[in-house]
């Protein structure tokens, strides 16, 4: 099995989940909440991207990753929490809309797992 392209697929599916989720949120709760969902999904995709960068830097060579990326990774949840607070206060959205958006990458990973299972079940 070759999982080389999985991170790119996951990021694309995260974007698709963000768009579909924002459309559903728009219909159910209005445009402001949909914007909050999109902002949460963007943070989710960014967090996944940061994790991929860390994994790639660890596997690429024997030298340790850059100090800046290690510090950013250590504080990423604080950065995300601060961003969520700013989104909620700045846009006037409910925290639930942003938190649901934060699950976009998780949904994309689950869909990737299902994709791989179905793809390899046929082989």
For position 120, what pLDDT does the model report? 81
* Residue 53: per-residue pLDDT: 83
Q: Is residue 12 part of a domain?
A: no
Does some domain include residue 82? yes
Q: Is residue 1 included in any domain, yes or no? A: no
End-to-end CA distance of the chain: give it in Å, rounded.
11
* Domains in the chain, number: 1
- Domain assignment present for 65: yes
56-87 burial code (b ≥16 CB/10 A, e <16): eeeeeeeeebeeeeeeebeebeebbeebbeeb
Q: What is the pLDDT of residue 82?
A: 93
Residue 6 domain-assigned? Answer: no
* 5 in any annotated domain: no
| pLDDT at site 21 | 97
What confidence score (pLDDT) does residue 89 get? 95
Q: Which domain holds residue 90?
A: 18-122
Number of CB atoms found within 10 A of residue 111's CB: 16
Q: pLDDT tens per residue, the chain (123 residues)? A: 667 889 999 999 999 999 999 999 999 999 999 999 999 999 999 999 988 887 787 766 656 656 666 676 778 888 889 999 999 999 999 999 999 999 999 999 999 999 999 988 876
Q: Which of 107, 112, 101 is nearest to 44 (CA)?
A: 101
Using CA of residue 114, residue 53, residue 98, residue 18, what is the dihedral sign? negative
117 within a domain of the structure (yes/no): yes
pTM for the structure as a whole = 0.85
């Amino acid at each position: 099995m070759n999982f080389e392209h999985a991170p790119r697929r996951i990021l694309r599916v995260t974007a698709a989940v963000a768009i579909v989720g924002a459309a559903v949120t728009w219909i159910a709760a209005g445009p402001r909440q949909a914007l909050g969902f999109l902002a949460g999904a963007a943070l989710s995709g960014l967090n996944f991207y940061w994790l991929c960068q860390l994994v790639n830097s660890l596997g690429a060579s024997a030298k340790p990753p850059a100090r800046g990326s290690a510090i950013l990774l250590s504080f990423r949840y604080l950065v995300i929490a601060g961003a969520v607070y700013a989104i909620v206060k700045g846009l006037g959205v409910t925290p639930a809309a942003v938190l649901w958006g934060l699950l976009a990458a998780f949904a994309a990973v689950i869909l990737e797992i299902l994709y791989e299972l179905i793809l390899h079940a046929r082989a």
